[in-house]
Amino acid sequence: MQQLLADLERTGQLIRVTQEVDPYLEVAEIQRRAYRAKAPAILFTRVKGTTFPMVCNVFGTMERTRWIFRDSLRALEGVFALKVNPFDFFKQPWRYAGVPRAVYSTMPKKVRTGPVMEAETTVSKLPQLYSWPMDGGGYVTLPQVYTESPDKPGFMSSNIGMYRVQLTGPSFETDKEVGLHYQIHRGIGYHHAEALRRGQPLKVNVFVGGPPAMTLAAIMPLPEGIAEILFAGALAGFRIPMIHRPGELPMLAEADFCICGTVHPGEQKPEGPFGDHLGYYSLAHDFPLMRVDAVYHRKDAVWPFTTVGRPPQEDTVFGAFIHELTADLVPTVFNGVREVHAVDQAGVHPLLLAIGSERYVPYAAERQPQELITCGLSLLGTTQTSLSKYVLIAAHEDAPDLHTHDFPRFFRHMLERTDLTRDLHYITRTTIDTLDYTGISLNQGSKLIWAACGPRKRPLCESLPTGFSLPQGFSDARLFMPGVAVVQGPRHTAARDEHDNAMFRLAEHLHGIQGRDGEGQQVPLAGLPLVVVADDAAFTAKDWDNFLWVTFTRSDPATDMYGAGAFTHCKHWGCAGPLIIDARLKSFHAPPLEEDPEITRRVDTLAAPGGPLHGIL
């Protein structure tokens, strides 16, 4: 980290702020503004309540992130390329000159000691970052949580994850306990399960800082069985030095901080609330309690941090960088899938757009989803894509130049080809992202595979159809894009895991006006296959960012999708159309994130003429 900051400062990519700043909300708002402004990294040398400097926005742009890994990126790309096509090495061996070193760098280097053990401190003396007003305490937001398999100890069966760590709060005994929040389908869970089966504590080390490759490794969606520390070495371009201590968990030698602790069987405490990356608070729930054994740090330690919230945020860059590295690997992991896009604007896991192949019956008179459904099930069956809630998948054969990042064209392509009586496939009462509060309970909700292929089935309306109307309680209908209307609905009052009768009224009304208006004129709704109901139609229909965020972070497929002329046949649900998505905030949802006005005014002052951040934010 010290080498990186010196490198950034030397090249004009880092500024120092010597005026005292507050880790309670203030530095978080500065960081969010710095990201939006594509500002340099910012090093705060005087932080209230701690002696440790803090640094933010290190990975604030794709250009800076690529630059950080400039010396090793080409070799790592070569490793991935050979995974896709091993025989290319014999055709173009000069392209892979750095691959042997990258492979050599994967194995960590055992050392006896390192800078991280130069000094000790306590949890309460660490920077206590609060990102949002309702946060339940100070948090580590760029942790590298390291564990090893109790059944097979060692680097090869280790896991590094970016699981949030709550340092302080009413649940935790000061300096002795911290909260360890890990979401469903995370590698640490397998290690924890092994420890519980053995009836023994799980040792955990939380690294902060150190080689930036470790930070990226902590969020890399690697297949089960591949240790993140191996990827970190390849990305860093050198073997990661790890302090090996008999009977203890290895420590990252070059880390700025290391919190060593243990998770004992049966010990949990409430963790949260915390403003999270879907744009809402994740509320307080029981999560594993980590007893703190020691807190080590370098003498020159710097505390790196970020904040999360409604996308885009700095973690957007992480996702884009990982996608750039791994895009060519998608077909090797998911047979038949050509492209995937976990949509950042929708909070990543709620919406996955994909393009697959439809080759099962190439001789059929009309192509219909078959292989696409297999592709969708594959995406929901492995790696981090299994947490996706809505999977919309189109056939490559219908439009070879279609891409998932072109939202207007992708959605138009899907809506023109979808058969609403056939192409919606639900999986109910299954696991969903821990942070998603749209489901029927924590970690439980539904998923939808929406597959569409074949010839165009309908032209999409370019304006609201003449005679289009709404029942009482619904208003402000707007055409967001061809074929998609956004309407304002009444406040949601239904309980969790229940349909809303108001939505049935809307579906019945829309089904009823499919025919002729009062003057005997046709009112065709075939060109309007999708209607989204929101609390604020104007906000939702303003742009794609708002539409994707509201529609897919505020709805559960099984509970919140309705349809005009809906039917269930042999447990398959469909509708004549339009399809309706209830994207209102529900009565049981966690609240959206909002900044503190007083903090906003304070940061405005820092960014005003004469302030230390003038011209930066």
Q: How far apart are CA 590 and CA 585, in angstroms?
A: 9
3-state secondary structure of 324: helix
pLDDT digits (tens, 9 = 90+) for 453-493: 999 999 999 999 877 899 999 999 999 999 999 999 999 99
- Arithmetic mean of pLDDT over the chain: 92
Structure confidence at residue 423 as a pLDDT band (50, 70, 90): very high
In the predicted model, what is the mean pLDDT of residues 569-598? 96
Query: Alpha-carbon Rg of the chain, whole angstroms?
Result: 26
Q: How far apart are CA 449 and CA 562, in angstroms?
A: 16
Nearest CA among 28, 10, 88 for reference residue 275: 28
pLDDT digits (tens, 9 = 90+) for 302-334: 999 999 999 999 999 999 998 888 877 787 788
Structure confidence at residue 517 as a pLDDT band (50, 70, 90): very low
CB 16 within 8 A of CB 45: yes
Domain with CATH 2.30.110.10 in the chain: 2-68+105-305
Q: Give the architecture-level CATH label for domain 2-68+105-305.
A: Roll (2.30)
Structure confidence at residue 367 as a pLDDT band (50, 70, 90): confident
* Fold classification of 330-452 (topology level): UbiD C-terminal domain-like (3.40.1670)
- What percentage of the chain carries pLDDT values higher than 90? 82
Q: How far apart are CA 106 and CA 239, in angstroms?
A: 6
Domain with CATH 3.40.1670.10 in the chain: 330-452
Neighbours of 71 (CB within 10 A): 12
Residues in a beta bridge with 303: 54
pTM, two decimal places: 0.91
Residue 80 has a pLDDT of 64
CB 490 within 8 A of CB 504: no
